[in-house]
Structure 1
């Protein structure tokens, strides 16, 4: 049986655009190296229900499996690059969601 996809959802507020741009420049090559696909981002998401609306940017991307997502996050190159994100943003959450396995 093939692995189920995994999704990463991130929510953060950019407070230093120059630092964040350094992160963006290196993000996509590392994402692709781990089989990841970028879906979308939104700087003005709408919370349809719930008492805690999210602020800032919401990003969504996918990996072919949970193992690939965890390998991306643990990659020393990504961890070094993420220091720019940490310096330039206030992270609200970085969440791994488990996808459903493919149907036969």
Structure 2
């Protein structure tokens, strides 16, 4: 079953963050990741949304997403993101529709 990552990011240092962006896709796609949305101008329908970037990503499964997130290559790369921004990142299971 598919799994989704939602990241809410406040980028403070675009130059350092660009080092994260430059190599992100290489590590991400090796684990079956697919970017569904990267948006810096979301349309807020309710509540507050004070993030400079919102990301929605899909993986073929929760284990694949965790394997990507925990891999040495991504964690080394994530150090640039951590240095340049503050983030909330969650992993969600896909909704399993009830056939009846």
When normalised by structure 1's length, the TM-score is 0.86
Question: For residue 17 of structure 2, what is the aligned residue in structure 1?
Answer: 20
1:59 Cα deviation from its structure 2 partner: 0.6
Offset at residue 54 of structure 1 (A): 3.6
Distance, in Å, in 2 between the alignment partners of 1:29 and 1:63 is 15
Q: Which residue of 2 aligns with 1:81?
A: 77
Inter-CA distance 102–33: structure 2 relative to 1 (3 Å threshold): farther
What SS does the corresponding residue of 2:77 show, helix, strand or coil?
A: helix
TM normalised by structure 2 equals 0.90
Aligned length, in residue pairs: 99
Unaligned runs of 5+ in 1: none
2:88 matches 1:99: no
- Which of 7, 22, 36 is residue 33 of structure 2 equivalent to? 36
**C-alpha deviation, 1:97, in angstroms:** 1.1
CA RMSD of aligned residues (A): 1.7
How big is the shift at 1:30?
A: 0.5
Q: Distance in 2 between matches of 1:103 and 1:30?
A: 34
* Cα distance per residue 1:9-66 (max 9 Å; x no partner): 101111111111100011101111111111111112122123x334210011110000
Q: Distance in 2 between matches of 1:22 and 1:84?
A: 7
